């Protein structure tokens, strides 16, 4: 299966409206949905924040040029919210899944889909 198929699978859930898959270091995009223009600086900061969330806590979480209120940041998952939209970043052994959701999806629905995809990638050593 191509990396794009994983992004397409997230989108087909109807719980995520934009998604991308990056290398664990955040230095290369493996697949992305259309118009999900996450800057190199944004994904680099996210990738580093799994190990040290202080930069996100101090300066905020930015994705696709939008600032999100940081809800959670640990060595596996980063969650952000802006009004009624949000972002979810989950780190696996070799990748970072990044997804965006909008109404009518609620945070828990989107989180469940993205975390489940991450669990699958981890189970197959990605």
Q: Where are the domains of the chain?
A: 3-124
- Classify domain 3-124 at the CATH superfamily level: Dynein light chain 2a, cytoplasmic (3.30.450.30)
CB atoms within 10 A of CB 123: 10
Dump pLDDT digits (tens) for 97-117. 999 999 999 999 999 999 999
List pLDDT tens digits, range 43-93.
999 999 999 999 888 888 999 999 999 999 999 999 999 999 999 999 999
pLDDT value of position 1:
62
State the Cα–Cα distance between residues 78 and 22, nearest whole angstrom.
14
**Residue 103, number of CB atoms within 10 A of its CB:** 9
| Per-residue pLDDT at 113 | 97
pLDDT digit string, tens, across residues 23-39:
999 999 999 999 899 99
């Amino acid at each position: 299966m191509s990396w794009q198929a994983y992004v397409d699978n997230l989108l087909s859930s109807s719980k995520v409206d934009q998604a991308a898959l990056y290398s664990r270091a955040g230095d290369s995009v493996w697949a992305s949905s259309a118009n999900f223009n996450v800057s190199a600086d944004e994904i680099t900061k996210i990738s580093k924040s799994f190990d040290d969330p202080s930069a996100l806590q101090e300066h905020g979480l930015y994705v696709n040029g939008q600032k999100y209120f940081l809800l959670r940041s640990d060595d596996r998952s980063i969650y952000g919210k802006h009004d009624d939209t949000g972002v979810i970043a989950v780190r696996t052994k070799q990748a970072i899944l990044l997804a965006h959701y909008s109404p009518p999806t609620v945070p828990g629905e989107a989180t469940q889909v993205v975390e489940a995809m991450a669990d699958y990638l981890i189970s197959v050593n990605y």
